[in-house]
Amino acid sequence: MSTIHVPVLRDQVVELLAATREGVFVDATLGLGGHASAILAAAPGLRLIGLDRDPRALELARERLAPWSDRVCLVNRSFADLPDVLDELGAGRPAAILADLGCSSLQLDSPGRGFSFLSDGPLDMRMGASGRTAADLVNEAGEDELMRILWEYGEERRARAIARAIAERRRRRPLTRTGDLVEVVLSVLGPGRRGRIHPATRTFQAIRIAVNDELGQLERFLEPAAERLAPGGRLAVISFHSLEDRIVKHTLRRLEGQCTCPPDLPVCRCGARTLVRRLTTKPIRPSEAEMRANSRSRSARLRAAERVEDGT
């Protein structure tokens, strides 16, 4: 494979999921197959169903997983479609499910995909091959909607000013390149200080999340994934920012039977039920050595749960 991707928290994921030993393992966000190859090597009794929205990622993952090709089935679908995929394949109840919510090196390091503010390319940001692009969003969304996206998904304090600057710029000419968006952000925030995060980081994150409906996909994935697990089966999720981690944390708490409603609400409305047992009350974080070796692992958080015998 010409594209190298280092799977984050690989050993911890293998320890959690390869322990299931036999049955179907679903890598719901296969990427380039780094986690999947490690788990297939560690657990000869597991068969892989790998899902990914990115057709190119599936091609490269197929090369990486060639030594286990008789135990591998790859599907070009979103992780939110997991129940439908399992039904279509007649796969039954998986022994393990993994979702790594980060962008792969294939996406981040390809200027043509438009994910990175560090190199100029088309303003795309789609994880799949269809749907609206980042250029469509920034050129067509209302100013208030842009402000909401930047504030909610990027936690950008200058969201209103950046949204206004985007609206002013597109009246003169559309934003079509990543460089166009970086230029607008820098016109509001300035070049930033050496050693700090790039000023466009939060804006790019927010627009990427909106383009790919990442939080909506995650919310549609988690509970059905836990429901479909075999008794004793394990679900592991790696998130990379606080918005994702908050959804994972609260969902797993609720599925462990803990009410997550506001304390002043007289009746529980969150639908808490005992479906899983959490294996991680606090997220597993990368070691200092891993963070030094792979800077993209710094924000990773791994949470996991195990399906109980009879969820109610």
CA angle 233, 239, 241 (to 5 degrees): 160
Query: In this predicted model, what pLDDT tens digit does every residue of 135-187 receive, in sequence order?
Result: 999 999 999 999 999 999 999 999 999 999 999 999 999 999 999 999 999 99
The phi and psi torsions of 264 (rounded to 5 degrees) equal -90, 0
Q: What is the pLDDT of residue 109?
A: 66
Domains of the chain: 10-106+214-307 (3.40.50.150), 124-212 (1.10.150.170)
Region of poorest pLDDT, from 95-109, 123-137, 158-172: 95-109
Query: In this predicted model, what pLDDT tens digit does every residue of 175-233 receive, in sequence order?
Result: 999 999 999 999 999 987 766 788 999 999 999 999 999 999 999 999 999 999 999 99
Q: Which two tokens stand for residue 24?
A: 């179907």
User: Which percentage of the chain shows pLDDT scores above 90?
Assistant: 77
Which sign does the torsion angle of CA 296, 78, 284, 47 carry? negative
Closest to 232 measured CA to CA, from 20, 13, 18:
20
CB 3 within 8 A of CB 34: no
CB 50 within 8 A of CB 27: yes
Please state, in angstroms and rounded to a whole number, the distance separating the CA atoms of residues 228 and 86. 9
